[in-house]
Amino acid sequence: MKTKFKTSSKLALIPPYLFARLDEKKAQAKARGVDVINMGIGDPDKGTLQPIVDAMHEAIDDTSTHDYPPYTGTVDFRKACVKWTSERFGIKEFDPVSECLSTIGSKESIHNIFLAFIDNGDYSLIPDPGYPVYNTGTIFAGGIPHKMPLNAQNSFLPDFDDIPVDIRNKAKIMFLNYPNNPTSAVAPVEFFQEAVDFCSKYGILLAHDMAYSEIYFDNYTSPSIFNAKGAEEIAVEFHSFSKSYNMTGWRLGWVLGNQDAIKAIAQVKTNVDSGVFKAIQKAGIRGLQIPQNDIEKRNDDVYDSRRKAIVEGLRSLGWTIEAPKATMFVWAPIPRSYNSSSDFCEKLLDECGIVVSPGNAFGTYGEGFFRIAMTTDVPRIQEAFSRLKDAGIRF
C-alpha cells in the first residue's frame, strides 16, 4: 500500500523552474532528431578562463583544501572580493570579515536573504519581469511578492511612485538587478540614488543583484549600488563568478554590504550548507586578479559579435531594436500576430528547432517579449535567423 505524502502548501504557489522546463523541451526535440540551436538559458558556451583552471589544478592538489571550508568563506577569498569590488567600482573597501560573505553562486544567497528577513505576511518589492528566485524566495519564506513592473516606456526601470503606500510600509526587502536579466536594461547612478533614498525612508533592505556587471559593450561601465550616497547603511550587493568568468558550474560568488544584513544572511547560510570548496575559492582569487583588459577582450571577441549578429538578424526580419549595452541577452517583443510569449517560443522550437526563453516565464510583465541568449557562435545565430526567414516568421 502506497503512502500519500502531503507536500507543503507553498509548493502549490511555485511554478516549475523555467530553465528545467526548457531543458526538458529541448531534450524532447533532440530525441526527435531536431538540430537544436540553443539560445535559451544564459550559460556561457566557452570554457572557464584559463588562469582560473590552472589555479584550480594547483589548489586541488593541495590537501589543505580538502577539509570543511569556513562556512562564510576563507578570509583570503573575502579579502580578494572586497578589494576587487572597491577597485572596480571606486567604492569603499568593505570589511572582509563582517561585511562580506562567500556564496555558492548567487542563487543560494539570494534565496537565503528572504529566509533571513521575511516573515509570514511580509512584502518584498521585486522586479517583474525578473529572475524567478526573487519571487520563489519570497514565497518559500512565507512572504508576499509585490511586483514592480519593468516597462519599455520607463527604460525597464521600476517607478517607485507606483508602489502603494500601505505596501511600502509593510515591505522588508527591495530587489534590483542591473545590468538586468532578462531585459538587458542598465541603470544610472541617479536611479540607484532614488532607490537608496526610497528604501531609507521606509526602512527597507535594498538588495542589488549584479551578476552581469562584467559583460558589457561600447565602453559602458555599470555602477554599483554603493556608488549611491547612503547605500552602505541599507544595502547589500550580490556578485557572481558565473557569467563574469564562465564559471556557472563552479558555483561561486559573494555578497557584501551592510554588516547587520550580512550577519543575518550568514546565520541562515551556516544552518543550510557547509560553504564553498576551498580549492574553488583559491581559483576564484586568481580569477579576480585577471586584468580587466582580458575581460573586455573576451567581451569583444565572443559576445559583441554575437550581440551584433542577433540584433542584425532581428532587424532583417522587421524588428526595431537597440543593441544592449550589457548582459548576454537580447530582449525583444514577439510578433503582433501571436497570442503569448509561450506560443511564439514553442513555435520557434517546433518549426525551427530554436530555443529561446518566453518573457512571461520571468513574470506577468514579461508577456509579449522573448529573451535570446548569446550562447552560441555567430554561424549558428545566422543559421537560426535563416530558419526564421524560411518559416516566414517576421515581426
pLDDT means per 10 residues, the chain with 395 residues, are 76 74 77 88 91 97 96 97 98 97 94 96 97 95 97 97 96 98 98 98 98 96 97 97 94 97 96 95 98 95 97 97 97 93 91 93 95 96 96 93
User: Which CATH fold would you assign to the domain 9-47+293-390?
Assistant: Aspartate Aminotransferase, domain 1 (3.90.1150)
pLDDT of residue 11: 84
Name the segment(s) of the chain with CATH classification 3.90.1150.10. 9-47+293-390
Contact 26, 355 (CB under 8 A): yes
Name the segment(s) of the chain with CATH classification 3.40.640.10. 50-291
User: Which CATH fold would you assign to the domain 50-291?
Assistant: Aspartate Aminotransferase; domain 2 (3.40.640)
DSSP H helices, 241-277, are: 241-244, 259-272
pTM: 0.94
Q: In whole angstroms, what is the distance from residue 126 CA to residue 128 CA?
A: 7
pLDDT of residue 83: 98
pLDDT of residue 17: 64
Which amino acid appears at position 196 of this protein? V
Which amino acid appears at position 182 of this protein? P
pLDDT of residue 220: 95
pLDDT of residue 3: 64
How many Cα atoms are found within 13 Å in the side-chain-facing hemisphere of 249? 7
pLDDT of residue 26: 78
Nearest residue to 309 via CA among 296, 321, 298: 321
Contact 258, 236 (CB under 8 A): yes
Contact 286, 52 (CB under 8 A): yes
Bridge partners of residue 123, in order along the sequence: 144, 171
pLDDT of residue 18: 63
DSSP 336-360: TT-S-HHHHHHHHHHHH-EE-EEGG
DSSP H helices, 90-144, are: 107-117, 132-140
pLDDT of residue 1: 52
Residue 145, CA distances (Å) to 10, 133, 226 in order: 13, 11, 25
294: which residues sit within 8 A by CB, 6+ positions away?
49
